[in-house]
């Protein structure tokens, strides 16, 4: 009766950030909201839906916290696709990845 299931939309590229290295971030969320079961789509599936199940107030609180993290990630991450001919990939990557590292640092 006090149970709730909620689907939230989180871009797939942010799933691993929310889960964290060795599951650190997800563990903290689970400690903070012990009654909530959080499930991400299977790795092979192209889905942005994360499902939360548990006690109503905790589900809402966890959803709010995750969406806040997503908002921060969206503000701090910018992505642009630039088509580059395959022949030039080696020039952009550089010897041992040196050029691409330099580009990333800039």
pLDDT the model gives residue 77: 74
Q: Is the pLDDT at 10 greater than 90, yes or no? A: yes
Distance CA 44, CA 42 (A): 6
- Three-class secondary structure of residue 83 per DSSP: coil
Residues 5-31, mean pLDDT to the nearest whole number = 92
Burial code (b: 16+ CB inside 10 Å, e: under 16) for 64-103 equals eebeeebeeeeeeeeeeeeeeeeeeeeeeeeeeeeeeeee
Helices (H), 1-106: 12-19, 24-32, 56-76, 89-93, 98-105
| 81 or 31, greater pLDDT | 31
Residues 62-78, mean pLDDT to the nearest whole number = 89
Q: What is the mean pLDDT of the chain?
A: 90
pLDDT the model gives residue 50: 95
- pLDDT digit string, tens, across residues 47-59: 999 999 999 999 9
Distance, CA of 78 to chain centre: 14
- Three-class secondary structure of residue 53 per DSSP: strand
């Amino acid at each position: 009766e006090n149970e709730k299931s909620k689907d939230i939309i989180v871009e797939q590229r942010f799933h691993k950030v929310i889960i964290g290295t060795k599951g650190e971030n997800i563990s903290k969320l689970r400690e903070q909201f012990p009654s909530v079961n959080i499930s991400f789509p299977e790795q092979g599936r192209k889905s942005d839906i994360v499902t939360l199940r548990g006690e109503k107030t905790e589900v809402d609180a966890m959803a709010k916290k995750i969406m806040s993290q997503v908002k921060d990630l969206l503000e701090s991450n910018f992505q642009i696709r630039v088509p580059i001919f395959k022949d030039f990939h080696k020039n952009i990557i550089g010897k041992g990845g040196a050029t691409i590292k330099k580009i990333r640092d800039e």
